[in-house]
Amino acid sequence: MKHRAYLALGANIGDKEDTMRRAVQMLQAGGCRLVCASSLYLTKPVGYTDQPDFFNAVISVQTDLTPRQLLQLSQATEQSLGRLRTIHWGPRVIDIDILIYEGVKIDEPDLILPHPLMLQRAFVMAPLAEIAPELHISERLTANEAVKLIPADGVVQIRDSGWAQTDRNS
């Protein structure tokens, strides 16, 4: 598998940790090899705030999928786990965003890489900096440098990276 990608996962409905673990399993079954996972973070909702807090994490995967195929796999995984798109930034069973597909820049209506909002989101940058502090997320900034520029209010590490182990009994 020759391509490294970083994916953000979030959930705030149902058994959030289990759903995120199942999402990792489905991504692996679809052609991604889990390289590492961040800790799990409890975060306040952004945008539409009248909803439960989120669990958020970032995973690093290796894959032979193209960015477009990875997007399709991510969306199929969301749909299989019950994701409904009703309220923009509203409650969700699972959300999977491609943050970075190393070496690739894309600007299309349904796929922009690197993710255009990640530098504004502590709930993305904190877990990304945890697993890839030296990753260049822009021409000038590493993940570790970028996370220091974002207020981290409402982002609390709650569980180590073991949450993503897909071979454990729940």
Q: List the domain range (segments joined by +) for residue 92.
A: 3-156
Per-residue pLDDT in tens (0 to 9) along the chain, 170 residues:
799 999 999 999 999 999 999 999 999 999 999 999 999 999 998 877 788 999 999 999 999 999 999 999 999 999 989 866 666 666 888 999 999 999 999 999 999 999 999 999 999 999 999 999 999 998 899 999 999 999 888 899 998 878 898 654 43
Q: Which of 97, 107, 159, 160 is catalytic?
A: 97
92 flagged as catalytic: yes
- 168 assigned to some structural domain: no
Q: Look at residue 9 in the predicted model and tell me its pLDDT.
A: 98
**68 part of the active site:** no
**Could you tell me how far CA 144 lies from the centroid of its own chain?**
17
Is 85 labeled as catalytic in the residue annotation?
no
Q: Is 32 within a domain?
A: yes
pTM attached to this predicted model: 0.92
**CATH no. for residue 40?**
3.30.70.560
For 61-97, give one letter per residue: b (16+ CB within 10 A) or e: bbbebebeebbebbeebbeebebeeeeeeebbbbbbb
166 is a domain residue: no
Is the residue at 124 inside a domain? yes
* Count of structural domains, the chain: 1
